[in-house]
């Protein structure tokens, strides 16, 4: 019995169907989708020496289209064309806001500045609370280091250094956010410089990150990303 080759409209699986089942409902053994097999090709005409012509196998889209009622069909390509009142300004804005190469380079130093600034704020705030709550403990530590009890000027200096360190850490943090957003080039430089001179116990972390940020900020492509 002659065998015809068709394709499942649901999974595009190749099926071999006997000729007597063409034009009847069949089931795909792979995805179990039920569909009607196309009718058998018409008998050849032109004599025994005429060349054999096989019908082009229909695509799954054509098979599905034939199953849709004629009144509900839409012209080819209509699904690919947006409506006449479609507003693509939002999509244009997204394409225009694609990340420039310089922004990718400055992103990691900006995150580093923010992370170090958070650590500085937390440590100095904790130290400041201890100074206010237990000043005698600080005086005892300074007496052990200096060999004499610290005067009021030393205490005031200790308070001032910690407050200044917290303020500069906030400047450093804002600069990190500016770098992450590629906005505020001058403030990003000021914040990077602040991380170099911030008097705190985390200078071993703050100084390398500040140098890294400055080196990146002075590169031409990074500077151009701030000017967009």
pLDDT attached to residue 215: 92
Percent of the chain with pLDDT over 90: 14
Residue 128, pLDDT above cutoff 70: yes
62: domain range? 1-41+56-78
Whole-structure pTM value: 0.51
Residues 132, 25, single domain; the answer is no
Residue 68 and residue 104 in one domain: no
The residue with tokens 């096989």 is 54
Compute φ and ψ for 206, nearest 5 degrees: -70, -40
User: 36 - beta bridge partners?
Assistant: 25
- From CA 126, how far away is CA 217, in angstroms rounded? 32
Mean pLDDT over 103-115 rounds to 88
Same domain, 105 and 183: yes
- The answer on 113 and 63 residing in a single domain is no
What gap in Å lies between CA 118 and CA 196, rounded to an integer? 15
- Answer yes or no: do 71 and 109 share one domain: no
In a domain, 19, yes or no: yes
Band of residue 94 on the pLDDT scale cut at 50, 70, 90: very low
Same domain, 214 and 148: yes
**Token pair 């590629």 in the structure block, residue:** 182
Same domain, 184 and 222: yes
User: Are 74 and 177 within one domain?
Assistant: no
Answer yes or no: do 212 and 145 share one domain: yes
Q: Into how many domains does the chain fold? A: 2
Do residue 74 and residue 107 come from a single domain? no
* Local structure of 169: helix, strand or coil: helix
Same domain, yes or no: 72 and 149: no
Structure tokens at 59: 């695509």
Q: Report yes or no on 9 lying in a domain.
A: yes
Least confident span in 3-7, 112-116, 138-142: 138-142
Which alpha helices (H) appear in 100-219, and where do they start and end? 101-133, 135-146, 152-181, 185-197, 203-217
* Angle at CA of residue 110, ends 107 and 112, nearest 5°: 110
pLDDT tens track for 189-200: 999 998 888 776
Residue 47 lies in a domain: no
CA distances from 75 to 9, 64, 71, 80 (A): 19, 14, 11, 11
Across 94-98, 105-109, 171-175, which has the greatest mean pLDDT? 171-175
| 90 within a domain of the structure (yes/no) | no
**Does any domain span residue 85?**
no
Give the Cα separation of 44 and 23 in Å (integer): 18
């Amino acid at each position: 019995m002659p065998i015809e080759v068709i394709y499942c409209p649901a999974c595009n699986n190749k099926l071999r169907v006997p000729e007597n089942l063409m034009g009847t409902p069949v089931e795909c053994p792979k995805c179990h989708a039920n569909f009607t097999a196309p009718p058998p090709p018409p008998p050849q005409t032109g004599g025994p020496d005429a060349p054999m012509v096989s019908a082009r196998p229909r695509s799954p889209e054509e098979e599905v289209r034939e199953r849709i009622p004629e009144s509900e069909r839409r012209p080819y390509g209509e699904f690919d064309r947006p409506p006449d009142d479609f507003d693509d300004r939002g999509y244009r804005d997204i394409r225009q806001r694609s990340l420039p190469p310089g922004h990718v380079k400055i992103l990691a130093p900006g995150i580093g500045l923010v992370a170090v600034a958070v650590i500085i704020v937390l440590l100095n705030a904790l130290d400041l609370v201890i100074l206010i709550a237990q000043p005698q403990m600080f005086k005892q530590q300074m007496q052990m280091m200096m060999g004499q009890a610290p005067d009021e000027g030393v205490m005031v200096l200790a308070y001032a250094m910690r407050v200044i360190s917290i303020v500069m850490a906030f400047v450093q943090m804002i600069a990190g956010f500016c770098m992450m957003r590629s906005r505020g080039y001058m403030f990003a430089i000021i914040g990077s410089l602040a991380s170099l001179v911030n008097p705190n116990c985390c200078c071993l972390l703050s100084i390398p990150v500040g140098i890294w940020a400055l080196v990146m900020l002075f590169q031409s492509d990074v500077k151009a990303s701030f000017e967009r």
